[in-house]
Every structure is written in C-alpha cells, then in structure tokens.
Structure 1
Amino acid sequence: MKRQPLRLAIMEATRILDDAGVSSPRTDAELIAAHVLGVERGRLPLVPLVDSPVVDAIGQLVAQRAKRVPLQHLTGWAAMGGITLDVGPGVFVPRPETELLLEWGLKLLRGREYPVVVDLCTGSGALALAVAHAKADAVVYAVDIDSQALAWARHNADARVAAGDTPIRLYSGDIGDPTIFAELDGLVDLVLCNPPYVPPGTAVPPEVSQHDPAHAVFAQEGGLAVIRHAIALSARLLRPGGGLAIEHDDTHGTAVPTLLSARRVLSSVEAHQDLAGRPRFVTARRG
C-alpha cells in the first residue's frame, strides 16, 4: 500500500476549508488529521507518512466540515478548562472565549475552602464540570431548562466522576423562577453564567444557525431577557464577597454592566474583553 505525506493531505484539507469559508481552515484541518490518527495535534510532525485509508478518512471529515458541520460534532468533543466534554446535536458547543470567564471564576475561588458554585444555563455542563475538576472541594450546582442539554450534562458529569472528579449537583429548572435555589440564598461564593444572549435576527455562522439549538443562542429583549434573570437570581444567591461572571453579546458592552450596576447589592462591576478585543463578559461582587 502506497503511503502519502501527511502534510499534503493537510494542505489540501486547508484549501478546501478555506474555500468553504471556515474561519480557521489550517487549525481545523490539523485537528481533523489528529482526530483520525488518534494523536495530539502537536505530534502531527512526527507522522510524516500515512496510508491511503487515513487520507480518505481525513477527506471524508473535511467534506463534512466544508458543509459547515461544527468541528466538535465531527470529533465528538469540546474543551473547557482542564477537561474535555462530549458534545453533539442538541446541545450548545462550548466556545474558547468562555475560558476567560472560567479563569476569572477560578481565581476568585483561590483560598476559599468548600466554596459553593452555581452554573446557570449549564448546557453540556462545561463550566460546572471544569470548576469541579479544578477545585475538588467545591460544591457545584448546575441548572438548565432544556432536557436535551441536561442529558448531555448528565452524560458528561458521569464521565467526569468515572475519571475521579467530584460529582456536581445537576438540576432541571428555569432561572426566571423566583423560587429556584431558594435554599442557597446568601450562601453562594461564585455564580457563572453563559446564557443565550444573541439578539434575534442577528446573522450567525452556519455552524450556529444550523447546528446549535436556537434557544441556547438567541434571547428576547435584544438578547438580554435571560441575562436579566441571571442577574436577579445572582443578587439573591451570592454571599458577601461572592462573585458573578456573565457572558454576553459583543453588542452588550454597555447594557450588561448597566444592569449589574443598577443592583444595590452588587459592586465592583467590571467589563472584560475576549481574545479578539470584543466586549464578552462582565463580573461583579456582592458587597
């Protein structure tokens, strides 16, 4: 069987993905190749030649990616913090920019013993499980309103427990319900929230419009409806010195800090940018 240079297969894959409008064609081509080969991306240079079936397998996945099927649906996983989670149809795919929000939250928890953490709109469970992995003594609660998302979160939570992480407490519920988590009022050290926040009618990439659940992406009131609920709930849950971090649309750079500043019990409101320099999340502390 004739062997072929892997670099040529990656170059061809990059060309196809670039022509298809994929935003990071070289990266995606390399990640697909790494997935097919079962190696880490950084080890690809150690695999100079591959068999024809490997090239064919890469080509099949590249063809799907060129149709704008999310890379994470093709590989079956997404990363958050120090863990990977299974993702696929029916659940929002975690994004790299949310890592910054997670980092802020973990920094807040440094030096706190047995902190109570709540992840609102948990989706795949990404933030909750990343916190439980990084902070083994944390008591982590997570909630979502969608049954499909919760099924993915439960699957991922079970996998993390099997890997040795602390279990999280997973709930089905509406964060707009004024009685939700009433037993935690004034006891929570950290609230994290990556809610649906895109204003309806906003143009989004095909990976989002065709594959992410719309209810996990778009929100009414110009994208602020769920964020308003998250702020109201957080103001009730947080203990003095506790912190809140909420991700938002890049058009909300003024609106969300204003909503947080309007809550008397919240202070130290701070806006944060993502790696591209766009407004992406806001943090606050309970006074």
Structure 2
Amino acid sequence: MEIAALLRDTTQLLSRAGVPSPDVDSVALVAHLLGVTGSEVRTAAARGDALPATADLDTFATRVMRRSEREPLQHITGIAHFRDLDLEVGAGVFIPRPETETVAQAAIDAARRLGPGRDGIVRVTDLCAGSGAIGLSVATEVPDARVSLLEASDEAAVYLRINSRRQSAEVRARVRTMMGDARRCLHLFDQCADVVVSNPPYIPPGSVPRDPEVADYDPPQALYGLGEDGLDLPRAIVNEAARLLRVGGVLVMEHADSQGTALREFVASSQWWDEVATHQDLNGRDRFLVATRVGV
C-alpha cells in the first residue's frame, strides 16, 4: 500500500467518526507508525512512496479505531506538542492546548522584561503545572529563569516529573517540581517570585465540555474551577499569588473567553494589584489576565 492511500483511507474513516481534524490526525498517526515527522509523511505521500514492509498495520488499525472513538490523539501517541516541547501525556493529566501557548509567551515576556536580580536569577512559579507545558517552556526559553512547578494531582505529577527529566541537564538544574495546593502553597517557598503563571481549573461546574476528548478524558480536577462561575479556584490562586510575588512582580493567569471581565474586576478591586489587563489568544478571544503586584 502507498502512504498516500493509507492517509486517504484513514482521513475518510476519522471524518465519518466526527473527528474535528481528520487530515491532521491521519498524518500524525502515520508519522507515529513510521517513526518520522509529519512533514516527512506528507513528502513521502507526495512522492508516491510505499509503506515499509515492516509497518505494523494491525497496531495502526487499533490506533485509528481508538481515535475514531474520540480518544485524544495525544493519549494514543503519548506525546503532546507545545511550543518547542514534546511532552509525555496520558490518563490523569490535562492535555495542553494551542491557545495556552500565548499564556506561556506572556510569562516568558514578563520574565525577560523583569530580568535577573542581583543573584542572576529571575524566579518563576507555575501553579497548577499539569504536564509542565508552561513552566518548562519558560525554563527552556529564558536562560536566567529558575522555575518552580507546583501540582496537586498525584497522577499529573507523574508526567510533570517525567517531562522535567526529559529536558537538557542545564534546564533540569533550573527546574524544581513540587506537590501542593496552589491556593495554600506559600510555605513551600523561601523567596518571592518575580513571575507567577497559572492555567488553573476554571470551567463552571454546569458547563460540560462538548468535545468527548475533553469531557471523557481530561481529569475533572483540571477542568472545573468551583463556584457558580467556575472562578472560585482562580480567585483563590490570585490571592495566593499576591503573597508569592515580590512588589513589581507579574501574574499571568489563563481563563475562559467568557471570564475576562469578571476576573479582571476581581483582581482590580484588590489593593495588591495594578496594571490589570485582559489579553487575547491568537483567535482573538479573551484568554488570560496580566497584573502587576504593588506595595501598599
């Protein structure tokens, strides 16, 4: 069989199953089968290359069936791509989304802008770190950053530690993973942070996600933010961030596109914050809050 034919058949099957991006997922599944990149799969298909005789089509068919039943692609391949990182993911950890890459960028920009202190370090704390997507992006892209990653879930913390160990020795030396509740974690830190970033649970309890990949596979504790509006946990984390940050430090927090005004007004009402603003993701939707810690 030619690679192009396998891609075509897989795309048609996934499309009939209602998978949102059947062509993209087909390329990813064939790339995983062959141990190559998606770009290499597309090139091989365009050339009319045949599948290697060693390709395990039975295993491939099982993976395609799992995807057609709406199991997340990242659970099937075991990898989630985020910025420049390949993160191991699986049951029990939230799969990082493309829109969160803008949140990571804001944290990176803040760390670069604030720069290292007298000790040559800029301290960044990632609360509700999950797979480590945001915090590890900061650590890999800001050489002066020392990053603490805090996670409350035992299951998610397994992947957090794995992904931290996957980084270079230089990055690993600047990363610390910890277990703890983001609402009550000040006792775990001995110095003030320059940047606190968080992608906390924020979905309102009654708002069940429509996509099966989210509703059936992402851990509920990573989705639902408690309270009628889903902002009980984010508000508590904002208050903890005020204790964690030094004066002049920056908070970056992701939220749902409908929560920008409510979260901004909550933060702006506190004496601890200034320069409170809502920022958009690449789709133009309200996606995250940025605020500066002030002294009183």
By the TM > 0.5 criterion, same fold? yes
Q: Give the corresponding residue for 2:193.
A: 188
Counterpart of 2:3 in structure 1: which amino acid?
L
Q: Could you tell me which residue of structure 2 aligns to residue 104 of structure 1?
A: 106
Instruction: State the Cα distance separating 1:85 from its structure 2 match.
Output: 1.2
C-alpha root-mean-square deviation of aligned residues, in Å? 1.9
> Could you tell me which of 250, 254, 274 is aligned with 1:267?
274
Deviations 1:60-106 (A, max 9, x none): 32211111111111111112232211110111111111100111111
Q: 1:163 Cα shift?
A: 7.8
Change (3 A) 1:83 1:213: same
- Correspondence list, 1:140-151, <5 A: 140-151=147-158
> For residues 253-264 of structure 1, what are the structure 2 equivalents within 5 Å?
253-264=260-271
Specify which of 20, 25, 29 is matched with residue 22 of structure 2.
Answer: 25
Q: Provide the identity percentage.
A: 36
Residue range with higher mean Cα deviation, 165-174 or 49-58: 49-58
Listed as ranges, the gaps of 5+ residues in structure 1 are none
Asked whether the equivalents of residues 100 and 254 of structure 2 are also in contact (C-alpha less than 8 Å), the reply is yes
Task: Write out per-residue CA displacement over residues 104-163 of structure 1, whole angstroms, 9 at most, x where no aligned residue.
Answer: 111122251210000000111221222111123211111111111112211221222558
Pairing partner for 2:205 from 200, 223, 238: 200
Give the structure 2 partner of residue 95 of structure 1. 97
- How far is 1:276 from its partner? 2.6
Change (3 A) 1:163 1:169: closer
Structure 1 contact 243–283 (Cα < 8 Å) conserved: yes
Q: In the aligned structure 2, how far is the partner of 1:58 from the partner of 1:27?
A: 16
C-alpha separation in 2, matches of 1:277 and 1:201: 25
Q: Would the aligned equivalents of 1:242 and 1:285 in 2 still touch at CA under 8 Å?
A: yes
Pairing of 1:205-284 with structure 2 (within 5 A): 205-221=211-227, 222-284=229-291
> Does the aligned pair in 2 maintain the 1:235–1:263 contact within 8 Å?
no
Larger deviation, residues 250-259 vs 117-126: 250-259
Q: In the alignment, is residue 70 of structure 1 matched against residue 75 of structure 2?
A: no
Instruction: Check conservation: 1:122, 1:128, Cα contact below 8 A.
Output: yes
Tell me if structure 1 keeps the 8 A contact 2:93–2:130: yes
Q: Secondary structure at the match of 2:190?
A: helix
Matching residue within 13, 16, 19 for 2:13: 16
Amino acid at match of 2:72: P
Is 1:46 paired with 2:51?
A: no
**What residue identity is the alignment partner of 2:281?**
D
Measure the CA separation in 2 of the matches of 1:46 and 1:188. 46
Distance 1:9-1:56 versus aligned 2 partners, 3 A rule: farther
| Higher mean C-alpha displacement, 117-126 vs 135-144 | 135-144
> What letter is aligned with 1:200?
P
Residue range with higher mean Cα deviation, 272-281 or 101-110: 272-281
Distance across 2 between alignment mates of 1:238 and 1:246: 14
CA distance in 2 between partners of 1:49 and 1:86 (Å): 30
Name the amino acid aligned to 1:127.
I
Per the alignment, residue 122 of structure 2 pairs with 115
Query: Corresponding residue for 2:135?
Result: 128
Query: Kindly tell me: are residues 37 and 178 of structure 1, through their superposed partners in 2, closer, same or farther at Cα, counting changes over 3 Å?
Result: closer
Query: Contact 2:186–2:244 at 8 Å: present in 1 too?
Result: no
Instruction: For 1:231 and 1:216, locate their aligned partners in 2 and report how far apart those are by CA, in whole Å.
Output: 17
Q: How many residues align?
A: 282
Supply the AA of the counterpart residue of 1:285: T
